[in-house]
Structure 1
Amino acid sequence: MSAITLQNIKHLTRELIDEIITFRRWLHQHPELSFEEQNTAKYIASVLGQNSINFREGIAGTGIIASIKGEAGEGRTLALRADIDALPIQENSGLAFSSKNDGVMHACGHDAHTASLLGTGIMLNKLKKSWGGTILLIFQPGEEKHPGGASILLQEGALENPRPDYIIGQHVLPEMESGKLGFRKGICMASADEIYITIKGKGGHAAIPHTLNDTVLASAQLIVSLQQVVSRIVPATIPIVLSFGKIEAKGATNIIPEKVEIAGTLRAMDEKWRAIIKEKIKDITITTALTYGCSAEIDIKDGYPMVLNNDELTEKVRELAAQYVGRDNVEEMELRMTAEDFGFYTHRFPATFYRFGVKQPNVNTGSLHSPQFNLNEDSLETSAGAMTWIAINLLSD
């Protein structure tokens, strides 16, 4: 174990918390969409530079990877990751530091993730004489947009020299009380694939459908048929979700359009059934279109893989977290059908992805991806401090 005590970390975190909150509020006021995070990157770089932390820019476009070398000897390499992008949402939180960028909001807590990691990096740098090894701070762009900044970062070889022995990420959870942390071994989040379908046929006057190919009816039947794939083909014990959130038919009350566009998502926690369902979607789409005299084009974009937490690493991190926040403040997380491009890392390195609670006391925190989302900033003291404690002790183990 490290010579640095838990109380050392907690004291240092308390000294730094106002600065971490300042980071978070600046980031919250200046959100930028996926792969457009130029000003966000400049801000991160300025904070790192002011604290004499070395870093590389231009990772996956707008990302940054900082590196801190411990001075207590050689050792493992640990990567800590935060995502930096925001969402195309008009903020309605009522905060004094609400978004200044119209139609863009940090509604998924990435401002908190980034601020917390900056705080952790500053503390690790201050304490570097007391630990050995290397810590990488990954400020990753584009988590919210296909193909995901993580996949691009890995394709670029940004984590090959040095190559991490472990990688850790954390994410806000508005349903969990501030001060609590949540963990789960193995699969914890679903894969996510994007489905785009176009149904084409002969359009025309809606009063004489017998002379046309009813693309709207074909599309409606297709959506109903595809919903039966999950309920009637997949075993009930396998978590899979197939949902369609967009259907666009540019017709009118009396016009059947020549094409209808449909878009949806497939979420899965089993690679075998993920592949089977994608083939079934293609087959049913083609045959349903033909039934109505139409044709179909289908494009299934392979998205984020499942988040697969390494059992041994997760147990170690959970134990260190319990030391920091107390066992009563460590919870077992349920499976989530949401997705995260952190999954790419988990299939390349031993990794764990955990949650930190941000629920507001006596105030509506709002849900993730909502215009009202507003996290409890007290949680940043827990997230930054706990990750610092976890990082130092993992390298010292």
Structure 2
Amino acid sequence: MQHLLSRIKTLAAAHAADTVALRQHLHAHPELSFEEHNTVAFVTEQLRRLGLSPQPIAGTGVVALIEGHNPGARTVALRADMDALPITEQNDVPYKSTNPGVMHACGHDVHTSSLLGAARILAELKDEFEGTVKLMFQPGEEKLPGGASLMIKEGVLDNPKPASVLGQHVFPMLPAGQIGIRPGRYMASTDELYLTVRGKGGHGAMPEMNLDPVLVAAHIIVAAQQLVSRRANPKLPTVLSFGKVIANGATNVIPNEVYLEGTFRTLNEEWRDEAHGHLRRLCEGLADSMGATCELEIRRGYPYLENEPQLTARVRAAAEQYLGAENVIELDQWMAAEDFAYFSQAADACFYRLGTRAQDGRFASSVHTPTFDIEPKALETGPGLMAWLTLQELAVR
């Protein structure tokens, strides 16, 4: 495999400028979740130029196969998401978003161009490996129910069934040329909370004539934290946060109702289900005890993301071969969520982070900010490493 390692590095370097150009085109033309019509047309055309036969899936997704010798020997699936965010870009660059109010602020343009770059390398090397590479370009990672769940429902993990699924995500906390990885439970599940507390509004100077839903909502916000402090196992990460509270009264007006939005996140599906019941009973019981009523809607989001330990150990070893052990960083658990988690629940999967910051500190803006951008050298590392990891996984027997 050593000769392939050298070839992949050579090809990644030779194609780096083209990969950067792909990313800049995608960055300039972002599209929101499940609206990626032009993006998927662009990706489809790039795949056809590689001699592949891409097929549509999940509305605005696409899947394609690269077959080596003995295609049925083993299949490895590679995933990239394609959607952008409703953010107005503040970068002053030639490839700035041309779609007002929409921006690739989470690096999905990087993921897509990187997978296209890896596909180009693997297509050039298909006479030198056994098995099949399944390329999965996914819509709607940023919006429930998540494009990954829709692709799985439409059979993306069948015919052929992958032995492993790999995905990568930009990580501005690490410099280009490094990756971060963690075995086991890595990212949290995420559920959206929508709570309405109803009372009886009126003049703020006559509280005895009213039933103050603001006070009831305040008690619920505080009491709900006991789910984390007293109900959750202290060894199990759990987050409950309310980030939106609307009590549309005035200085002297008590409103009839208060509306709240929040999130619940954890790393255990059993506790997740149990906590939903606790939260519902807490909200309804507390509101009732104070003479009010409430309605709690829990929109179930993505499950927690688990990196299969044996696969992740192989990915780490292969990454150390490609990048050097000093450039493969152990990550901590992270309470953000990713719909790649659906793949991790359905197959052996590994999701790692691609460093995108410059060595001098530039390109350090976080994802989901209007100034996010990347060090272009990451688009040499990303495709090359993914191609190398794929060949290593195809060789597993």
Please tell me the residue identity of whatever aligns with 1:50: R
| 1:90 aligned residue (84, 88, 91) | 88
Indicate conservation of the 8 Å contact 1:72/1:128, yes or no.
no
Alignment match, 1:338: 336
Deviation track 1:273-302 (CA, whole Å, cap 9, x = no partner) reads: 222221111111002211332111111111
CA–CA distance in structure 2, aligned partners of residues 233 and 389 of structure 1 = 45
Counterparts of 1:1-397 in structure 2, within 5 Å, are 2=1, 4-57=3-56, 59-71=57-69, 74-362=72-360, 363-397=362-396
Alpha-carbon distance in 2 for matches of 1:106, 1:281: 35
CA offset at residue 73 of structure 1?
5.6
Percent of aligned positions with the same letter in both sequences?
44
Letter in 1 for 2:365: G
User: Residues of 1 paired with 2:289 and 2:206: CA distance?
Assistant: 18
Give the Å deviation of 1:72: 5.5
Q: 1:257, CA displacement in angstroms?
A: 2.1
Native 8 Å contact 1:73 1:131 kept in 2: no
Q: 1:218 to 1:153 in 2, by over 3 A?
A: same
Residues 76-107 of structure 1, C-alpha deviation per residue, up to 9 Å, x if partnerless?
Answer: 01100001011111111222211111111111
SS at match of 2:236: coil
Give a deviation string over 1:290-349, Cα, whole Å, max 9, x none.
133211111111111111111111111111111111111111111111111011111111
Q: Distance in 2 between matches of 1:233 and 1:396?
A: 46
Is the contact between residue 38 and residue 62 of structure 1 (CA under 8 Å) also seen in structure 2? yes
CA RMSD of aligned residues (A): 1.4
* Post-superposition CA distance 1:38-67 (Å, at most 9, x none): 11111111111122111111x221001111
* 3-state SS, counterpart of residue 104 of structure 2: coil
Distance 2:173 2:60 in 1: 31
Helix, strand or coil at the partner of 2:239: strand
Letter matched to residue 187 of structure 2: M
Contact 1:214 1:292 in 2 (8 A): no
Q: How many residues align?
A: 395
TM-score normalized by the length of structure 1 = 0.96
CA drift of 1:236 comes to 2.3
Cα offsets for 1:366-387 (capped at 9, x unmatched):
0111111111110111110011
* Distance in 2 of aligned mates of 1:24 and 1:82: 13
CA deviation digits over 1:152-204, x for unaligned, max 9? 11112232222111110011111011101111111011111111111112222
- What is the alpha-carbon distance in structure 2 between the residues aligned to residue 72 and residue 182 of structure 1? 33
Distance 1:3 1:234 in 2: 48
Q: Equivalents in 1 of 2:27, 2:274: separation in Å?
A: 41
Contact 1:182 1:332 in 2 (8 A): yes
Mapped to 1, the partners of 2:295 and 2:372 lie a distance apart of 38
Instruction: Write out per-residue CA displacement over residues 100-119 of structure 1, whole angstroms, 9 at most, x where no aligned residue.
Output: 11111111111100000000
> Under a length normalisation based on structure 2, what TM-score does the superposition of the two structures give?
0.96
Q: Distance in 2 between matches of 1:303 and 1:170?
A: 20
